[in-house]
Amino acid sequence: MTKFRFQNFPAIERTPSSPACLQYRLTELLYNSTCCKCKVDSVNPTTGEYRVVLQGTLDSWDDTNTPTNT
């Protein structure tokens, strides 16, 4: 599993995304986290639409992962 970097976040938000691609990127994010939690924010039983919120802390987060304004 590769190290998850700050620059990988936009790839998670790309839509449309295949379930397999999203699963890979989220798994990469979770494996590189020291702690994480998940909250089911909402579920619509009529349409099947759902919203899930992930929150966590990346392992070995350092300044080399953040973009600079140069």
pLDDT digits (tens, 9 = 90+) for 26-35: 999 999 999 9
The domain limits of the chain are: 6-58
DSSP code per residue over the chain: -PPP-GGGHHHHH-SS--HHHHHHHHHHHHHTEEEEEEEEEEE-TTT--EEEEEEEEETT--GGGS----
pTM of the model: 0.72
Instruction: Work out the mean pLDDT of the chain and round it to a whole number.
Output: 85
